[in-house]
Homo-oligomer: A and B are copies of this chain.
Amino acid sequence: MARLGLTPQRLAAEGAELADEVGFDQVTASALAQRFGVKVASLYSHIRSTQELKVRIALFALNELADRAAEAVAGRAGKDALVALGNVYRDYARKHPGRYAASQLRLDPATAAASAGPRHAQLARAVLRGYQLGEPEQTHAVRLLGSVFHGFASLDLGGAFSHSLPDSEQSWSWALDALDTMLSCGSTGGS
């Protein structure tokens, strides 16, 4: 009964580790309790439900990812910044598949608004500042960037690109080049 210093934060961090090892949807209160060497019921002093635990892991991952993105973007501009930002998402998905899956958890609007989600949008906006887009083009571009980064990471992680040539690395470079060219080539006319 020696008391461990458990907190919701530590549970989330360890849950993130667990997610990377066994997959986000295999994260259970039972497994997490085992990891800490306590009984399952004890976790309920710190979290209200398994759902809350998953939300906390998602928030943890979103935050960690935003931190890395911010670091990558700092001191860079233009295509350099674009590539750096894209690589953060891609690398994170590869190295931390469980956390990446967690970051995709559907959050209710209030939670989402209080999450690092908006920071991600701000970082994309910062990168796009180098491309001289007005509104509403910049917003459209933020969304396209998010779609490409997330879509590519998600499909690649799912193995969609792994059983054909050329390897995904090359497609990734090509996609970043294409995005850069497109954003540089000025306004897309608009329908």
Binding site for B on A (CB under 8 A): 25, 104, 106-107, 109, 112-113, 117, 136-137, 139-140, 143-144, 146-152, 154-155, 158-161, 163-166, 168, 170-171, 173-175, 177-178, 181-182, 185, 188-191
In the complex, the answer to whether B159 meets A154 with C-beta atoms within 8 Å is: no
Partner of A159, one of B106, B137, B139, B165: B106
In the complex, the answer to whether A143 meets B152 with C-beta atoms within 8 Å is: yes
Q: Please give, as numbers and ranges, the residues of chain B lying within 8 Å of A144 by CB-CB distance.
A: 148, 152, 171, 174-175, 178
CA distance A177 to B137 in the complex (A): 12
Q: Please give, as numbers and ranges, the residues of chain B lying within 8 Å of A117 by CB-CB distance.
A: 160
Most buried by B among A147, A154, A174: A147
Q: Please give, as numbers and ranges, the residues of chain B lying within 8 Å of A177 by CB-CB distance.
A: 188-191
